[in-house]
Amino acid sequence: MPKKIRLGILGGGGDSLIGVLHRVASHINDNYEIVGAVFNPVYEENIGFAKEIDVPTDRIYKDFDAFIEGEMKLPKEERIQVCSVQTPNFLHFPMAKKLLDNGFHVICEKPMTTTLEEAKILQEAHKKAGTIFALTHTYTGYPMVRQMREMIKSGALGKIHKVDARYYQGWINTIIHDKEKRSSVWRLDPEKAGISSCMGDIGVHAFNLVEYTTGLQVKSLLCDFNYLYEDNKMDVDGTVLVRMGDHVKGVIRGSQVATGEENGLAIAIYGEKASFRWEQEKPNFLYKQSDTEPTQVYKPGHAYNSELSLNGTKLPPGHPEGIFDSMANIYLGAARAIRGEQYNDGEFPTMLDGVRGMNFIEATVESHKGGNVWVEMES
């Protein structure tokens, strides 16, 4: 067993939503050890949380600048190798940039930055650094999503002609209808979230899944947002028509006010020979449908699955694995890359996915604000 990779964490404190997912995921395949962090901007809470989860406090820094300074003073064989950025969106860019500039590998939450311009600057910094950059579009780690990608690549659907992805949640309902509350959460504050709430937070996952599974790129789009209230600055619902080619079209739908919906990410890809349907809330079932044969259901862990898919399961078929395992698969791919081992390019989303995601988010806003017009994406 090679030595564990020294992992640093930024954000993801005890008060966060996503921190526990990253911490558990980083441990699942025994590749990483958390050796330093800034879990929280309030030092007492930061230290308190480190003690609570038993991370040694000697490398719990008061803030990000102290983190970089402290780590750069250490000999390379002791220094943190990869840092996982789990803060609110506006901190991803400054943190990831400085990490790359100082030679760290980076695992970063989505959306990668708050603007396309920042994303391109980060891309340049990454080229110069030559280190590994993994973007945690968590859902690409599910074995059945990977299976879809591999089967589409090998022609199971024939030529694709229609995509339909949706990411519906309802949680903002509890906030948005109250004037006071809707100005208090960072996801509805453009200074902290970036220019979009719904598309930036969840629509971008659906977009990523469409490009990840089909291997095609969205070329142009037309978007219609709903802000729900005149004083709300951020989209909380949106429908996006997408064109991926002259005869490849579809729709990406996102909502944070889809009452009663929990984490309703779903995708359907239709081709000339067959189609795939997959839902995040039932991630271990991949449906393949055709006009001529009965529906087939693919499940994880069976030998009929692709190597990339099988790589993402740890137990025999019938032992349900879920979101923690999906994130763990991204950490596993990143670990292989960091160690210089061979890996499949479907094992983790990259800098390019981050740039594409920011391009998508900005294009949706431009389309809506321009009067629901078609906007070209960069190729």
Ligand X SMILES: NC(=O)c1ccc[n+]([C@@H]2O[C@H](COP(=O)([O-])OP(=O)(O)OC[C@H]3O[C@@H](n4cnc5c(N)ncnc54)[C@H](O)[C@@H]3O)[C@@H](O)[C@H]2O)c1
List residues near ligand X by CB under 6 A: 10-13, 15-19, 38, 40-41, 64, 86-89, 91, 109-110, 136, 138, 201
CB of 29 to ligand X, least distance (A): 18
CB of 66 to ligand X, least distance (A): 11
5: Cα separation from own chain's centroid: 22
Of the two residues 146 and 288, which places its CB atom closer to ligand X in the complex? 146
Q: CA nearest 132: which of 378, 357, 330, 358? A: 330
Q: For residue 37, which phi and psi values (nearest 5 degrees)?
A: -170, 160
CB of 337 to ligand X, least distance (A): 19
Of the two residues 17 and 303, which places its CB atom closer to ligand X in the complex? 17
CB of 15 to ligand X, least distance (A): 5
Contacts of 365 (CB under 8 A, 6+ apart): 195, 196, 199, 223, 225, 235
CB of 96 to ligand X, least distance (A): 11
Of the two residues 89 and 123, which places its CB atom closer to ligand X in the complex? 89
Q: How far apart are the first and last CA of the chain?
A: 41
Of the two residues 169 and 306, which places its CB atom closer to ligand X in the complex? 169
Of the two residues 21 and 221, which places its CB atom closer to ligand X in the complex? 21
Query: What's the chain's length in residues?
Result: 379
The number of CA neighbours under 13 Å toward the Cβ of 4 is 14
Contact 140, 209 (CB under 8 A): yes
CB of 127 to ligand X, least distance (A): 23
How far apart CA 237 and CA 219 sit, in angstroms, is: 22
Contact 201, 137 (CB under 8 A): no
CA 218, 220, 226, 232 dihedral sign is positive
Q: With H, G, I as helix, E, B as strand and everything else as coil, classify residue 228.
A: coil
Of the two residues 136 and 196, which places its CB atom closer to ligand X in the complex? 136
Of the two residues 298 and 348, which places its CB atom closer to ligand X in the complex? 348
How far apart CA 205 and CA 323 sit, in angstroms, is: 14
CB of 38 to ligand X, least distance (A): 4
